[in-house]
Amino acid sequence: MHAMNHVSHLDLASQESHRRFALPPVHLFWGGEPPNQRIYYYHYLLLFNEIKNRPKRDLPALTTQEWRSILGNTYWKKQWPQNDGNNLSAFDPNVFWKYGGTLLFGDERSADVTAGRYNPTSQLSCRCGVQLATADDTDIRQVVLYYLNSFHVYEEIREMERHQFPTTFEKRWKDQKLLVNEVVEMCNPSGGGVNPDFFCNEKVWGSWVQAVRGVVADWNGFEHWDWGSFSGVRTMGINELSGPDCHRFTVRLLAFFIHSFVTRLGYYPSPLLRPPTLAAHSCTDHAKKFGNALIALPFPSSSRQS
């Protein structure tokens, strides 16, 4: 009998490299050299809708290396016609996507892009065009990372749901995704807007915790999790808990959430809690002009009635 009771770091590392991501891993944007980072943000903003809608189009998730090559110029350069000393086909970084790319677009759309039948570029939410300089704006970078994290949370939970409920997933997800949107948006459910006091407002906080519980309540192991002094956790009235109890319960709930990902999908999930924002990808002029509450949040299923 083998007495090994620990896992080699090397095993973990090699497993991790096989992970595929529905969306570009967040760390790619803060790793690397500044000139590369700039190109990454530029490509992300310019191809925003294409990247964000890939999972909805059921295109396969990509490895870190594949995402890196798409966010940079590497992948696109390979799509361009090989130039035999002919300057006309020299790579142009402003229209890097011009010759398509099946890895990002899928076969059919890639052919449409190459033929000039489909324009894959996105505008900022203020409808201004994306410039390379836009990618240097630290406010925009912050907004990009904020929402990218939210999109990851959404896709990770979807992956978990598909994993745990393979036969009923499609039906379940119709309801679940509404709860997931509540969790990632961290908005005030009664007012619909962002509550700057999110973490201090007990009612808003309680509703958020309730949405998280709704997401995970049917997940494997929920019933047997160590809930400490709490009982009847599935139906417990969260808004009736005292403030400190609500926070204690939150910690146990988040621990269950993380544990589920680590044990079932083999990775640590993207963080659920960030200071909420409604800021949009808008240029400096329009960010000033409209403040930051002008957008429809970029979630496909989010119905934001005012």
Toward Zn ion, which CB reaches closer, 102 or 284?
284
Toward Zn ion, which CB reaches closer, 126 or 295?
126
Give the whole-angstrom CA distance, residue 288 versus residue 224. 51
Q: Identify the sign of the CA torsion 59, 18, 75, 27.
A: positive
Q: Name the one residue in this structure whose structure tokens are 């899928």.
A: 106
Kindly determine how many residues on this chain lie close enough to bind Zn ion according to the rule CB under 5 A: 4
Toward Zn ion, which CB reaches closer, 49 or 65?
49
Which residues, 125 to 184, sit near Zn ion by CB under 5 A? 126, 128
Which residues, 85 to 114, sit near Zn ion by CB under 5 A? none
The least CB distance from residue 133 to Zn ion, in Å, is 12
DSSP state of 95: G
Amino acid at 206: G
What's CA 17's distance to the chain center, in Å? 19
Give the whole-angstrom CA distance, residue 69 versus residue 8. 29
Q: How many residues does the structure list for the chain?
A: 306
The least CB distance from residue 46 to Zn ion, in Å, is 15
The least CB distance from residue 295 to Zn ion, in Å, is 12
Give the whole-angstrom CA distance, residue 210 versus residue 178. 13
Which residues, 247 to 306, sit near Zn ion by CB under 5 A? 283, 286
Which residues, 18 to 57, sit near Zn ion by CB under 5 A? none
Toward Zn ion, which CB reaches closer, 126 or 254?
126
Give the whole-angstrom CA distance, residue 286 versus residue 303. 24
Toward Zn ion, which CB reaches closer, 126 or 294?
126
Which residues, 112 to 131, sit near Zn ion by CB under 5 A? 126, 128
The residue ranges that bind Zn ion (CB under 5 A) are: 126, 128, 283, 286
